[in-house]
A and B are shown apart, each in its own frame.
Chain A
């Protein structure tokens, strides 16, 4: 009976209830997105750094860690000397250059990214169709490259490392066979990418890339002191700087702490907005029914029942809002992810918003608690109103 009364109260002002639920849903969606943003970037960064399975990343000293233009020479000797160390189990040299491919069927040229690497140690791509590189004249490409060039696995294509559009001349051209399609972990969404054996990429670039690499990834023996290895490499090899995965994560974590603070503040704001919305509506609704509540008290309805009814109202509003907000939050997160993923230079696998059911549940649970708390004060006021005086005031009104 009391619940029917509470339901009737909400249904009596349908539009108002709907607007409040919508408002709480927006706050809930915002809260959810902020929780997802707070963990999404860190987790996906960790995900792909760790996926590679290398603990150290060596880049030409004095350049940014992800600068794809800078290279370091004497790569073969450098790699060999690194491999000679007992606490290093694998070294993966990488050379990033450009790749130009004439499109099948017309004379336009498709630009893309070429990665020269050692197929045995690479951690940059995962073959999803066809097979991995086995010979120097083979090419593994991604779906974007296939779509842009109109080629298929098994095709033989003439590709080049350089192209002068004015005179339509290729530099460092090679005829290669497409043997597989792969997903490139580190690449930005939409980028056309291909991988060839390191020697092939170096040869295509001619003198500018002979025996040069952009990055050397180093895997240490399990249990080795990564920091000691890193310090030793930096001390012994002045041409490179070494960044450990842990340091990179820490670096990223520090940068992202601003994001997390922002997310935390916005999440708190969302909670506050949800709280204020629900408490406003419940307060208004109690004021509107103050006479009814006084009558219920006068005919013997217990205080606890009044509290339950008013707080139930807040609970229903925040539950409905949180439920709607969950859907709304996921949709907006997906949409925002799409916008942010197009940010130039970001790997495609990078998620800004990551849905973790437990975190989402905790956030929405907090919101529902807020809704419940929002009803507490008006509920207490309603339960303790002076009955005779309220009835008298209502009779005057």
Chain B
């Protein structure tokens, strides 16, 4: 099994005046290619903080995070930016699409940044929108889409540059039960097609769908349950097929 992510004794302290907040207190976690890990735990236990560290959106106070062979915690800004562009895909609770761009353009944005030729990225954006079930909405702007549709566009955007790892922070947090279920089904299909996923969630249904559930409390892992082991024919490399 290929190790996609390996976090060792990761800490993150927020220097708040008075008493500093220890949001993540020494988390170690390995994620293998093809896994789908759901990180669950009470509000404020440090789940989002951990996910931001894994996605190189934030920097740990201590510890190392190795993703696809690189220590993400030690990257300079330019390299970290490059890593976020091509190494991971990030899905936010609030979708965060560019309101002035169409669905297709939102999906193309990371590819344009990665200098993918126009023809190629247009084709891939179309393909990805088709995959998330929004082929007919390519030219719609975010305000013309429902929350569930926007989140599916955001997932397509996160997959644009074929990242080794998809990170999602409460991807169903803003959605009602039915559209949430659609997004969960999409993540499930992605995972079955080979995408390695780490999600943070309060959503019991989402946690149930994941292969493995990691319980966090007060910035530390208290339980780690594999619910569905990887099939023996898991992809040999970490890169998602999609």
A contact set with B: CB distance below 8 Å: 1-2, 4-5, 8-9, 12, 291-292, 295-303, 305, 387-388, 391-392, 395
Q: Which chain A residues lie closer than 8 Å to B86 at the CB level?
A: 300
What are 25 A-B contacts defined by CB distance under 8 Å? A1-B105, A1-B113, A4-B100, A4-B105, A5-B98, A5-B101, A8-B100, A291-B96, A292-B96, A296-B109, A297-B81, A297-B84, A298-B84, A298-B90, A299-B85, A299-B109, A299-B110, A300-B84, A300-B114, A301-B85, A302-B81, A303-B77, A387-B57, A387-B58, A392-B48
Bound-state CA distance A100–B80 (Å) is 89
Bound-state CA distance A291–B94 (Å) is 11
A/B pair count, beta carbons within 8 Å: 77
B contact set with A: CB distance below 8 Å: 48-49, 52, 55, 57-58, 77-78, 81-86, 90, 92-94, 96, 98-101, 105, 108-110, 112-114, 157-158, 161
For the complex, would chain A's binding face be called helix, strand, loop or mixed by DSSP majority? helix
Q: Look across to chain B and name the residue whose beta carbon is closest to the beta carbon of A299.
A: B110
State how many angstroms separate the Cβ of A225 from the closest Cβ of chain B. 70
Contact B92 A391 (CB under 8 A): yes
Bound-state CA distance A392–B93 (Å) is 11
Q: Which chain B residues lie closer than 8 Å to A391 at the CB level?
A: 57, 92, 96
Of A292, A297, A387, A395, the residue contacting B98 (CB under 8 A) is A292
> Among B58, B99, B158, which residue has the most Cβ atoms of chain A within 10 A?
B58
Of B48, B57, B100, B161, the residue contacting A298 (CB under 8 A) is B57
On whether A295 and B92 interact (CB within 8 A), knowing A5-B98, A388-B58, the answer reads yes
* Given A5-B100, A291-B96; 18 other pairs, CB 8 A cutoff: A1-B112, A4-B100, A4-B105, A5-B101, A12-B100, A297-B81, A298-B92, A299-B85, A299-B110, A299-B158, A300-B81, A300-B161, A301-B81, A301-B113, A305-B113, A388-B57, A391-B57, A392-B48
Bound-state CA distance A53–B138 (Å) is 76
State how many angstroms separate the Cβ of A2 from the closest Cβ of chain B. 7
Q: Which chain B residues lie closer than 8 Å to A395 at the CB level?
A: 93-94
Of B48, B49, B78, B90, the residue contacting A299 (CB under 8 A) is B90
Q: Which chain B residues lie closer than 8 Å to A8 at the CB level?
A: 100-101
State how many angstroms separate the Cβ of B56 from the closest Cβ of chain A. 9
Q: Which chain B residues lie closer than 8 Å to A291 at the CB level?
A: 96
Q: Look across to chain B and name the residue whose beta carbon is closest to the beta carbon of A384.
A: B77
> Among A12, A292, A388, which residue has the most Cβ atoms of chain B within 10 A?
A388
Of B82, B94, B101, B161, the residue contacting A4 (CB under 8 A) is B101
Bound-state CA distance A338–B37 (Å) is 79
Q: Which chain A residues lie closer than 8 Å to B100 at the CB level?
A: 4-5, 8-9, 12
Bound-state CA distance A299–B77 (Å) is 13
Bound-state CA distance A395–B158 (Å) is 19
